[in-house]
C-alpha cells in the first residue's frame, strides 16, 4: 500500500478498535458480537475482517497494549527504588494513570480476566499479569521486612485487593481526579506497621 492508502486504512482500523473497546467495556467481551462491532463502526460484518481477523484479535490488541504500557510503567517505578510506602504511592499513581488512559481495557480485563486466562491464545496476557503481581508483591514484601508495612498481610492478596479496588474505582468514577490520592491514603493507613 502506498502511504496515501495506508492512512485511511489505519484511521479506520483505529476507529473500529475504539468502538470495540467501548462495546467490550459496556457489554462485556463475550456478549459483544462481531456484528455489534461492525454495526457500531458503520461497516459490514464481513468488512470488519479486512481490519481484524477475529474478535479475539481485537481484544488481544486492546489488552496487550494496556498491559505492555502498564508493565513498563511499573518496572520504571520499582527501578527508582525508595522505601516501600513511597514506591507503593508511585505504583498506585501509575495504575490510576493507566486506567484513566486505557479505561475500557482496564474494565474489560477486570471483568474478563478469568475467562481469557483459560484460552491458550491469551497466555501472554496471563504472563504479563503475573509479572505485574510479582513487581507489586516484591515491594510489599520489602515493606513487611523493613517494618514499614504490617507483617501480618499477605502480599499477593494485598496486591489483588489493590488491583481490583483501582478497577472498581475506575468503573464508578470518571475522571479520576484526586481518586489516586484518596485511594493511596486509605491503602497506606491500613498497611503501615
- Rounded to the nearest 5 percent, the helix, strand and coil shares of the chain are 80, 0, 20
| Chain mean pLDDT for the chain | 89
169 upstream amide cis, omega within 30 of 0: no
CATH homologous superfamily of 54-191 equals Tetracycline Repressor, domain 2 (1.10.357.10)
The ranges of the chain annotated as CATH 1.10.10.60 are 1-53
Distance CA 15, CA 24 (A): 14
Which band of pLDDT confidence, cut at 50, 70 and 90, is reported for residue 177?
A: low
- Please say if the pLDDT value at position 5 is more than 60: no
pLDDT of 185 reads 77
More confident residue, 141 or 171: 141
Distance CA 127, CA 89 (A): 24
- Please say if the pLDDT value at position 2 is more than 60: no
- Please say if the pLDDT value at position 176 is more than 60: no
Write out the three cell numbers for 74.
511499573
What number of other Cβ atoms are within 10 A of residue 173's Cβ? 13
pLDDT of 178 reads 72
Task: Confirm if 140 and 92 have CB atoms less than 8 A apart.
Answer: no
Across 9-18, 26-35, 81-90, 180-189, least confident range: 180-189
Helix (H, G, I), strand (E, B) or coil at 88: helix
pLDDT of 179 reads 73
How far does Cα 75 stand from its chain's mean position?
A: 15
Q: Which residues, listed in sequence order, are joined to residue 192 by a DSSP beta bridge?
A: 149
Which band of pLDDT confidence, cut at 50, 70 and 90, is reported for residue 173?
A: low
* Segment holding 137, helix H or strand E: helix 123-146
Which value, in Å, is the radius of gyration of the alpha carbons in the chain? Answer: 19
The ranges of the chain annotated as CATH 1.10.357.10 are 54-191
Q: Which fold has domain 1-53?
A: Arc Repressor Mutant, subunit A (1.10.10)
Distance CA 26, CA 112 (A): 12
- Over residues 137-155, mean pLDDT: 95
pLDDT of 190 reads 64
Amino acid at each position: 500500500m502506498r502511504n496515501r492508502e495506508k492512512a485511511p486504512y489505519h484511521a479506520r482500523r483505529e476507529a473500529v478498535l475504539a468502538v470495540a473497546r467501548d462495546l467490550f467495556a459496556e457489554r462485556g467481551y463475550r456478549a459483544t458480537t462481531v456484528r455489534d462491532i461492525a454495526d457500531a463502526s458503520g461497516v459490514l460484518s464481513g468488512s470488519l475482517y479486512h481490519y481484524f481477523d477475529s474478535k479475539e484479535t481485537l481484544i488481544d490488541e486492546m489488552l496487550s497494549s494496556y498491559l505492555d504500557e502498564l508493565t513498563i510503567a511499573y518496572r520504571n517505578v520499582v527501578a527508582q527504588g525508595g522505601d516501600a510506602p513511597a514506591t507503593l504511592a508511585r505504583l498506585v499513581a501509575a495504575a490510576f494513570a493507566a486506567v484513566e488512559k486505557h479505561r475500557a481495557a482496564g474494565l474489560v480485563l477486570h471483568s474478563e480476566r478469568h475467562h481469557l486466562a483459560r484460552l491458550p491464545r491469551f497466555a501472554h496476557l496471563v504472563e504479563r499479569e503475573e509479572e505485574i503481581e510479582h513487581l507489586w508483591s516484591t515491594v510489599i514484601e520489602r515493606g513487611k521486612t523493613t517494618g514499614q508495612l504490617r507483617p501480618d498481610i499477605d502480599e499477593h492478596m494485598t496486591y489483588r485487593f489493590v488491583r481490583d479496588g483501582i478497577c472498581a474505582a475506575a468503573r464508578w468514577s470518571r475522571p479520576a481526579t484526586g481518586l489516586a490520592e484518596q485511594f493511596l491514603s486509605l491503602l497506606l493507613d491500613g498497611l503501615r506497621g
